[in-house]
Every structure is written in C-alpha cells, then in structure tokens.
A and B are shown apart, each in its own frame.
Chain A
C-alpha cells in the first residue's frame, strides 16, 4: 500500500456513495434487500473512511504538523482546478455525517425505506452532497455540492408522499431554489471582483482588493451570507424550517438535523477564512451573526413553547441550535469556537436521535396521515399499507421504559442538562463567552441569558409533551423493532460518550477552532504545495 493510496482516500466520501447510488439504479424495487445491503455497506465504509481521515488529520495535527491536506482533482494546480481539503473541521463533519447516516439508514430499514421508490439512491446521494460540501475548497464547487445535497433533500423530503408532505416539500423546494439563485449571484460577484473561486486563493486576494471594488465584493459576500443563513435557519429567514422538517419521514428529518449545520459550516469556513484578521469582512459579518443568532434563539424559544407537537418541538430545537451556534460565532470569533463545535456535534446528534424517537412515541397517530386513497390501479401502495413480513422480528419488552428513557436522554441533550453532552457543550460556550473580555458587555449578557432561557423553554415544552405521551396511561404501545431502537440507543450513547470523553474531544474541537483562524497554514497547504503543472506526479 503506497503512500499515494491513502491520499486518494479524501475523494472516497464523495465517490463511494456516488458509485453505490449509481449501482442501485440498476436494481429494481423488488430487490430491496440487495439495495439495502449496498447502501448499508457503503455507509459503513464511509464511516470507516471518515474515521481514518479524522485520525489522520488528528495524528498529524497533534504531532505538530499541519492537519490540512489538499487533494488536487484532475491534477490541476491549485487556483485553477478544484481542490478537496481535509482538515480538522472537515474531518469532523465527515465523521458526524457518516455517523448520522449510518444510524438513520439502519432505522429506515425497519419500515421507511419501503414508503416510496428509490430511497437508498437518494439517501446515498444526500450523503455524497453533504460530504462534498464539507470537503471542497472551492466556492463554486461548494455551490455544486449544495445543489447535490439540496436536490437529494427535495427527494427525501417528498419520500413517503401524502398531501402534507407534498405541500411542505414543494414549499421547501421553492424557498431553496430561490436561495440557490442568491448563492449563485454571490459567487458571481465575488468571482467578478477577485477573479478566482478557490477559497485559499480568495483568502490571499481579498485583502488586496482595491477600495473601489470593496462594496461590490462585500455585496457579494453579504448575498452569499444570506443564502448560508437561510440554510442555517436564521430568523427571519428560517421560518420554513420547522414545517418542512416536521413533514419529512422521521429518518429523513433525523438526517436533516445535519443539513442546517451545513449553513453554519459554510459560515464558519467561508467567513473565517475570507475575513481578514480585524479586517473589514470580520467586522462586517460579526454583528449580524451575533444579533441575528440571538433573534434566532429567541424565535426558537418562543416557537418551542408554542409547539403543539413533538415534531415541531424538534424543529424549533434545530432553530435554537443554529441560533446558538451563529450567535456564539458572532460574539466570540476564535475564543469560543471549541465550545461552538462541541455544541454543534452534540446538538446535531441529540436532535437526530430526537426525531427518530418521536416517530416511535407517536407511532399510533403517525399512520393516519399516510393512508391516502389510491387513485390509479398501478399505484405503488404495497408495503406501506400492508407492512411486509416482519424481518427484524425481535420485539423488545418494556417498550415503554425504553421510550421513556430515550426521551429523557434526548431532552437532557437538547436542553443542555447534565449528565450528557449538551451540558458540557453549553458550559463550554458560556465559559468561552465569559472569558472573552474582563468586562462583560450587554450583548454577551443577553446571549448567555438567551442560551439558558432556551434550555429552560425546551424543558418546559418537552416535559409537557413527554408526560402526556409517555406517562399518561394508554393502550399497549406498539412493539419496537431492534432496527429502530438500536440507532436511537447508539446516538444517545454517543452523546454520553462525548460527555465522558469531553477532555480529548474538547481538545480536538479547540484545535479545530484554532486551525480556522490559521489562514496562513491553510493557504500554504492548498495553494503552494500543490502540483506545479498538470503532469507533475502527485507526490
């Protein structure tokens, strides 16, 4: 195994699901098990590869070498061809994505992958889009992968059909297509001013932009930012989010937990890389992130209190999570990034588990929306209504205890109460905020209060719903399948693990945060150490 072989690993998180998805296109609906196996194997491999990549980044990073590795696609030198970049942050996001992917996929195998055609293909392509967005080092390529992940999310959101889902799905499509247009306009303006798309190259060129071009560049960045913030769900751009997520099939909604984080990721990546130290872009974005983020937390808090269903509660916790992330990024720049990233991982995993669990808790009512009168003879109605033979078949006793326990765990993670990772995450953020300056100014006070109040609102909203659903005596709950219970358990165990191994995890997150401020290192690895011309052998 040559050294070159591991270099190529960077492209695997994108190519692997793509190839697997292409393969599943050759299988028809009757070969569901085969498709499921292909998907499962692929996602397992993805998890393995991304763990390897994370390990690689961390081991070289902790050893004092740069953790950043660039991969020059087509062997074109850097600002001209497209580069993929693996570094602390992208490796982390890859592991998170594949972890969530694996759990939600296993969950969906119990029931949901039969609810409509081509689930596995769309699912794999969704992962490909996410991975691509996290890996790319090129602004236009980021747009392409945004399109991939959005297109796949359209398909997945509509998966399972039904009036509500189609309504919410088309709503979602409209909003996101409009936003993609903004993305494109922003990228075009930035290209028009700087003449490059490579992020590392941009980081060099932007400080040198002439004064007369500045408003154009800023305008482009701001429009691009609007697009990112809409994906992240910032108020008032994120009003679409709770409804869309609530309409999605549960494993899809659970996977979508990371979708809104892509917006946050893009903000982190693009704005920290492109905004010079104390430069104009930094000042330009910060206040908007801080106040917008705070408005988002407030909105999410009000929304979570107003929610009537658990799906909505989960939707607004996505909003709160995004708001917290954005505001903390805006308030603190580098200092709180460790906590921010820890919170990002913890809240994503927690919300993912929550979406999966809600379905199990509310199962008795869930079916009603799906039973639609077929209009045509040939309509694909099969498995949803009849529910094929029990494949996993193992029925766990004490369903209620497991659901109750899982629910409590989820609430603890999301609201930030001990002993799970949510507590550590919120503590780390508040700690970072308090340590920013010796004087605490009012926006920081307000932000800390909002973070705490949003946790409280989550507790109030979830205890009400949880007590009504879990503690109120009712008829025997439907049995659980192992394939459904295990993913939830794994996700929650991950939250527990994050809390127990908070020390090493936080060390990783802090290094990630530092690396984001290290423009020089990034530029060096991406731009300067690439192939000089096309036919130079890569390393």
Chain B
C-alpha cells in the first residue's frame, strides 16, 4: 500500500511544476499576484511531497516507478528515488519555493511575471526530472530541458543585449555538453547492455574495463563540466548573470550548475576509481577552484563576485569527487548542500542591495548596515559560511575537504602540493567574502547612490532568513539535523562502502583545523593589506587577459567565416557547374560497373548498313551537333537544326517499321518547333562581346574544352550502352505478352495503342497530368512574364510596314500587315476543317492502326496553331472561342470517369471493356471503353497545347503600360534571331 502511494507521489512531484508552468503560461501578463501565488503554492506542494517521501528512502531503500516509453529501444521513463536524488530534489524544490517568494517582491510590477514563473516552474520540473531519472536517456532528456529553460530564464530580459548574448552563450555551451553527454551515456548503455541506471550500476566493473570506457568517460565529463562551469568551460556562467537576480540565485546555487555535480556523483560508482578519472577530474576541479577564487577577488560587481565564487566552489566539489575516495565523496555531497544554502541566500541579499540602492558596484557601496541591519546580519552570516567560519555549515565541509586533501598520501606532485593549494584557494575565498561584507555593509555612509537605501520588505527577507537559519543549524548541530539526510545520500552512492565519519564541530586540534585557521587568517590579512587597492584594480591580474566571452565569440565567428569560405569550395549556386557535376556523376556511376567487370558487346550480328540510312543519320548527326554549337547565340538557327535532327529520328522510325512512333514524333516535332518559334520573339537579344579585346581568356577556353570532353564522354557512354543492349539477345520480356494479348484481351490490333490506353493506361493517365501541369505552368509563367525591354516593341518588319503605311497617301496604318502573305494565309485558313477531319480519323482508328488520342490531339492543335498563325490572335479569337482549360478539364475527367466505370462492375480502376459493333456507313467498328479513355487524351492534348499557344499569343496583344512605343530606328537591323 505504502509503495503504491510513494510511487504515485513521485509522479506528482515531477508533474506539479510542469502543470504549474502550463497554468502560469496562459495567465495574462499583468496577473502578477495570481502567478506568484500559483508558483508558490506549486513549489510548496511539491516540496511537501518531497519531504513526505523521505521516510520511504531513509533506510537506504529505493523507490522506483516505470512507464514504458520506447520499450523496443530500452527507453523507459523510470522515476527512481534514492537518498541522493531525494536530497537534490528536496533542495531544488525548497530553494525553488524560497526563490518564488523572493521573486514576487523582486520583480518589477511592469514585468510580465507569469511568463517568468512559467519558465521557472518548468525549469524546476526539469531539474526534478533530471535527479529522479532512472534511465540514462531520460536523464539526458531532462538535462537538455534544463539547458533550454535556463536559456529562456537567462534571456528573460531579452530587450537588453547582455541578456541575449549571455543566454545564447549558456545555451550553446551547455547544449554542446548535453550532446556529448548523450553520446557518452549511449556508449555506457552499449557496454552495460541497458540504459537502465540500476543495470549500469551492476555493470560498473565491466564498464571500467571496457575499451569504450575512455570515450564514454570523456564525453560524460564534457557534459558535466560544461554544465557545472568547470575550467575551461566556465566562461558562460558570469555572463549568465544578466538574468534577473532570483534566477541567478536559483540557477547558480542549488540547481543548474549542480546538475553537473549531480551527474558526477550519480556516475561516481560507475566511472570513478580509475587513473583517468582521478587525473582529469581533480585537475579540472583544482584549476577551477583556484582560478574562480582568484578572479572573484577582483570583481567589482557583486553578482560577478558571487558568480566566480560559485565557479570556485563547484571546482572544490569536483576536486573532491575526483579523489576516488569515498570520504571525499561524502564531503562533496555535503558541500553541495552547504553551498546551495549559503550561495542562494547571498544572491538574494545582493538582489536586495541592488533593488534598494540601484547599484551592485562594490566601489560605490558602503555602510549599508545602518540602513538595512537585518539584511546585513543575514549576509554576514551567509558570507561567513562561504568563507568557512566555524559554527557555520561551510566550515564543516571545508574541514572535510582539507582532511581529504591532506589524506592524499601519494608520492606525487599533486599529492604533496594539494594541501597548500587548497589552503591558498580557501584563503582567497575568505578574502573575497570579507571584501564583499566589509565593503558593502560597513564603513562610512554611501555617497551618490541611485536610490536612498532602506530595509527590504519583510517577505523579501524571509527566504534569506530561512536559508541562513539552515546554515546556522547545520553548522552548530550537524548530527541532529543534516546527518541522516547526508547519510542516506552517501549510502545511495557508496552502498556498503560508505565510510564511517562523524559530523562534529570539534574533532580535536588537528591538521585540517590548523590549515583552516591559517586560511582564515591569510584571507583576513590579505583584505587588510590589499582591500583598498582592490577597489582601484581594473581587471584580474595574471588571467585577466583571457576573455572568455571574446574567445567564445571569436571561435564562433571563425567557425562561421570558415563555413562561408568552405562553401565557396564545396558548393556553388550556379547552374552550369551543377549540371556539370550531375553529368560527371552519372558518367562515373554508369562507368563504374564496367571498370569492375569489363565491357562486352552483345553476340547478335548487326544488319548490314544501308548507305541511304547512313546518310540520313549523318545529316541528323550534323544537325544535332550544329544545334548545340549555335544554341548560345543563334537560337533561331539552333531551333531549325533541332527540328532537322528530329525529322531524322522520324525517318528512322519509319525505316525501322514503327509507324506509330514516327507519326507521334513527327507531330510532336511540329508542335514544339512551332511553339518555340513563337516564343523566340520574346527572348532578349544576346550580345557576343563578352571579353575585352574579343579574346577568350584561357580559363574559359579550358572550361569549354572540359565541357566538350565531358559531353563527348557522356554521348559515347550512352552509345556504348545502347550498343551493348541492342546487340544482346532480348530477355524473356513482358512485351511478348502484350503482342499476344493485345487483340484477344485488349480488342485492338495496334499494340502500341493498346499498351498506351489499356495495358499501361495508368502511365498514360499520369503523362496526361504532366502535360496538363506543364501547360498550366507555362500559362502562369507567361501571365506574369516581363519581356526584356528590347523585345517589347513590335517586330522590326511590322514597324517598317507601318512606317511605309504612314508615309504613303491613302493607306491606313496596318494595311500592309493585313495583306502580308495573303495566299498562304488563305490556304492555312481553309486547311482548318481538313485537319480536323484528319484528327478524328486518327482518333477513331487508333486502336487498330497508327494514330490514337495523342496523335489526334496534336493534329487538332496544329490546326488551331495554323489559324493563329494565319489570322492573328485577335481575329481568331473574335470568331472562335477557345476554352483550353475546359478542354483540359474535360479530358482529364473523361479519362478518370472511364477508369472509374470499371468499379461499377467490380473490376479494378481502368479495366477496359470492348465489343465490335456494326454501324451503318462506318462498318464494323471497335467499341471499347479504351476509346473513351483515348478521347480523354485527345481533349486534354488539344486543351494543353491550346493553352500554351494562347499564353504565347496573348503576349503580342498585351498593351504595354506607361511605356510609349519608341520611335522607329531606321537602320538595316540584323535578323531577328
């Protein structure tokens, strides 16, 4: 019964902050009190739940609750509460509650606090999720969420630049770490065979011996160090001070930065105990400890001082964890707790100072104790704890630290120097603590502060009071207060290896105490000697030249600049090189198998070459090459040459007895050439003079040479491929089936047509659609087409004709044009009905003889094009209403409906039906649904070509806007081409 309750309580503890966040985020921006109360109640409730859960873990037992999430990949949501996670969860929630109370009074009434509380609650929830994680992936999941919400919190005042850049820096550094962590824990999971935390604990020995241990360790440590602001990743933390002070108080005391520490403690049983761990973690910890303390001394901003002191204390904890000693680990956990209490209260005290005086500059502050005695008292006690003054909690963990430092009996440099370095760092911490307190609260009354200082409101002080009481109580009667909590946490990490230790103020007059007193003395002495000088110091000696932020920005901008430079080499936006790459890749891909296996032609003997056919192909080849040659500057010539090449393929089809293909090819050639010719008129002129002195540079010649080679290679490649295919025995192909079944099952003797409208009618349906889309696209494009200025005016010939009309008596402008090519025009107009009949003929006979819907449709559209050519757009459209879109629509619909008709008889889409019937006059006629389908094709083809035609034709009758016809330049111009 109890188990069930504690499991559900676990879920409640995790869900509460997120629910609160959701509620708060939908509150209106001005609902300051509601949001505050909501956040406070949520945090308080969650804290109560956490405290209530203590009994279930106090005996060293573990509460677990799991929900499958991605079971096949070993990813479950496991909430796992043991002594360690309880301690951290309680810390997060209780400090969270205090911070919420504090924020309510700290944040200005203009701030949209509901958003603030929403972020804060979500952040707290992520922290709780992180510490409760019983699955490695879930841990990373919440880890990244803390990065995300801390980003939003740090950037909360995003209107100022420091907040933006600080938030961004924090996000990038911690997210990088998070990604490394993900890779690291996945390696752990691979070694352990499971992502479950308990399974990983059981596999500890295997993990340490695995060859993947080092990469996993490295990646996880990067994750932890970036989060906990360890050297050399510490630089983001001071910039995160741009956040509102309550955020700093929360993030940098009990939560965000402690996540890294939590990770190190959590994985201590698995990863610690090796040389690699000792070397890395202690070195990084020691560097951070000393560097942070040293820099903190020279800060003039109170928050900056606390930020570096935080870095330094985190370094201390890391150092302890690196020592591979159980007792040091207990000390680390203890100091984590102590640091959270005193650092949170100090941040809040600084917040009060900032709030009440309007400045955090240590040099401007002085003698505040007389204005705010209570705050001053609280701050003094908290700072005392930070400095490690006896009777306060900081003292106890510091003693343990010193004892461990002395205990490191290693005949190594590190072992011998550690006690001295530790004492030195502690002396620094005494120095900056004293400086902080003395400078701000004592001395003469302050001058020219932005605001008249006064005591903070009672509820703003309350959180600090609670925390300071905790410092005192823990410091004085540790055994009665914190010992069991610490014991439970230590046991959950160390298990049966938990060392015996005693938390007492007095252990006798021993070496740690001597060092501790020495540090206090040195620190105080340091302040007496250098205190005034520190106020004049600008920047930190020795390490001040290393500007973390600048380095970070430099690295980023180098990265981006490098990326842009690289893009110039590996990417291009231009079409020609891209096409070159494509052809090259295709050639290479096609060639590769032949390099491996060798090229082999087929075994079939070729038919003897007919000289006439060879001649035709020679002409065709010349046309094709010449078309390519002239394409750039002589579009007209190129077009005609292309048509020549097309004709040669028509002839080839006829020669090789495929009349259907020949017919289709001929018609398509005709229409495309005509439409392209009509389009040429609107293209801008191309000038040849590209290079100064009309000398082509070598670079260009080289490139063109390369292109020619590539083109030759691709062309020969295709030729060789075709040769190999065509000289081979045909495989047992599906085409035989088509020939055999075309008449009995498809009802047509023209196999090509039966394939098109029946066997593979679905392909035809698709191709019809393509044609429709292309027509629509051309139409849409030309609707908004803006021709080059030089092509807007009417063609030269027309202008000459008009000019001559104007010049001569008795002629209206346009008369010559109207008479132009009268005879051919009349013939073309009269051809209209004849071509229509031809089209219908082709359509009807298509199923049995060459022809069909496509050919008929193209034929019909040629009739239409001829009308436009002969009579001009206006005249045709006066007499003939063309609705290309409706033709297209009807064609598509007819084809679809024909296909759907089969459903009625419970056959699949496009199943055909046919019967031969005797019709009067026409004789025996095949009556097939395929014909209906073909009529659909017919309609669509007419519509599509007509639409393109109309789109081009209408260019010439559009009236230009605000652009008067330029006067005719009477000079013998070049050919319009």
Contacts and interface: CB of A to CB of B under 8 A. Distances in A.
Given A193-B731, A427-B182, A226 B586 contact: yes
Contact of A222 (B141, B590, B760, B787): B590
Contact of A434 (B187, B572, B886): B187
Contacts of A215: 593-594, 596-600
A158 B766 contact: no
Interface string B566-602: 1100111101011101110110011111101111100
A207 to B, nearest CB: 14
A460 B570 contact: no
A74 B567 contact: no
Contact of B579 (A7, A166, A178, A189): A178
B734 A377 contact: no
A456 interface: yes
Interface stretch (A32-40, A148-156, A253-261, A269-277): A148-156
Given A140-B763, A159-B780, A235-B570, A418 B144 contact: yes
Given A235-B570, A463-B172, A375 B68 contact: no
B171 A463 contact: yes
A361 interface: no
B745 A533 contact: yes
Contacts of B763: 82, 140-141, 144
B641 interface: no
A375 to B, nearest CB: 5
B925 interface: no
Contacts of B759: 74, 76, 80-81
A503 B77 CA distance: 11
Interface in A206-246: 211-219, 222-223, 225-226, 230, 235-237, 239-240, 243
A440 B896 CA distance: 54
A371 interface: no
Interface stretch (A46-54, A302-310, A321-329, A488-496): A302-310
Interface stretch (A106-114, A120-128, A475-483): A120-128
Interface stretch (B240-248, B463-471, B531-539, B887-895): B887-895
Contact of A219 (B593, B598, B888): B593
A528 interface: no
A132 interface: yes
A375 B792 contact: yes
B107 to A, nearest CB: 18
B70 A417 contact: no
Interface residues of B, number: 130
Interface stretch (A14-22, A89-97, A352-360, A387-395): A14-22
Contact of A125 (B772, B959, B960): B772
Interface in A346-381: 372, 374-380
A424 interface: yes
B783 interface: yes
B908 A417 contact: no
B734 A506 contact: no
Which of B140, B164, B212, B725 is the most central at the interface, judged by chain A CB atoms within 10 Å of its CB? B725
Interface stretch (B494-502, B556-564, B607-615, B863-871): B556-564
B145 A503 contact: no
Interface in B862-905: 885-886, 888-890, 892-893, 896, 899-900, 902-903
B721 interface: yes
A456 B179 contact: yes
B530 interface: no
B910 interface: yes
Given A427-B137, A463-B171, A302 B190 contact: no
Given A239-B571, A375-B792, A18 B780 contact: no
B582 A237 contact: yes
Nearest to A17: B769
Interface stretch (A55-63, A194-202, A516-524): A194-202
Nearest to A170: B575
Judged by DSSP, the binding face of B is helix
Interface in B168-224: 168, 171-172, 175-176, 178-180, 182-183, 186-187, 189-190, 212
Nearest to A398: B29
Contact of B186 (A23, A374, A430): A430
Given A215-B596, A463-B171, A538 B776 contact: no
A417 B26 CA distance: 24
Contacts of A166: 781
Most buried by A among B575, B767, B963: B575
Contacts of A155: 773, 776-777, 780
B786 A189 contact: no
Given A141-B763, A166-B781, A195-B733, A377 B593 contact: no
A302 B155 contact: no
B662 interface: no
Contacts of A174: 575, 579
Contact of B148 (A73, A118, A122, A417): A417
A417 B585 contact: no
Interface in B26-81: 68-75
B634 interface: no
Interface string A132-174: 1000000011001101100110110011010000100001001
B703 interface: no
Interface in B768-815: 769-770, 772-774, 776-777, 779-781, 783-784, 786-787, 792
A248 interface: no
Interface stretch (B4-12, B270-278, B735-743): B735-743
A1 interface: no
A460 B741 CA distance: 63
Nearest to B897: A19
Interface string B897-929: 001101100111111100000000000000000
A216 B725 CA distance: 8
Contacts of A448: 183
Contact of A236 (B141, B148, B570, B900): B570
A418 B145 contact: yes
B399 interface: no
Contacts of B900: 15
B414 to A, nearest CB: 32
B739 to A, nearest CB: 11
Interface in A454-506: 455-456, 459-460, 463-464, 467, 471-473, 502-503, 506
A244 to B, nearest CB: 10
27 contacts: A18-B896, A72-B908, A74-B759, A74-B910, A116-B784, A117-B783, A118-B776, A122-B773, A140-B763, A148-B766, A175-B582, A193-B725, A195-B735, A213-B728, A215-B594, A219-B594, A222-B592, A239-B573, A240-B578, A303-B567, A375-B787, A375-B963, A418-B142, A431-B189, A455-B179, A471-B155, A471-B164
Interface of A: 2, 4, 7-8, 11, 15, 18-19, 21-26, 71-76, 79-82, 116-118, 121-122, 125, 128-129, 132, 140-141, 144-145, 147-148, 151-152, 154-155, 158-159, 161, 166, 171, 174-175, 178-179, 182, 185, 188-189, 191-198, 201, 205, 211-219, 222-223, 225-226, 230, 235-237, 239-240, 243, 284, 299, 302-303, 305-306, 338, 372, 374-380, 401, 408, 412, 417-419, 423-424, 427-428, 430-431, 434-435, 440, 448, 452, 455-456, 459-460, 463-464, 467, 471-473, 502-503, 506-507, 510, 533-535, 537-538
Interface of B: 68-75, 115, 137, 140-142, 144-145, 148, 155, 158-159, 164, 167-168, 171-172, 175-176, 178-180, 182-183, 186-187, 189-190, 212, 556, 559-560, 563-564, 566-567, 570-573, 575, 577-579, 581-583, 585-586, 589-594, 596-600, 718, 721, 724-725, 728, 730-735, 737-738, 741, 745, 758-763, 765-767, 769-770, 772-774, 776-777, 779-781, 783-784, 786-787, 792, 885-886, 888-890, 892-893, 896, 899-900, 902-903, 906-912, 958-961, 963
Given A25-B885, A473-B159, 11 more contacts: A21-B892, A22-B890, A23-B889, A74-B909, A125-B773, A155-B773, A174-B579, A235-B570, A236-B585, A456-B176, A533-B745
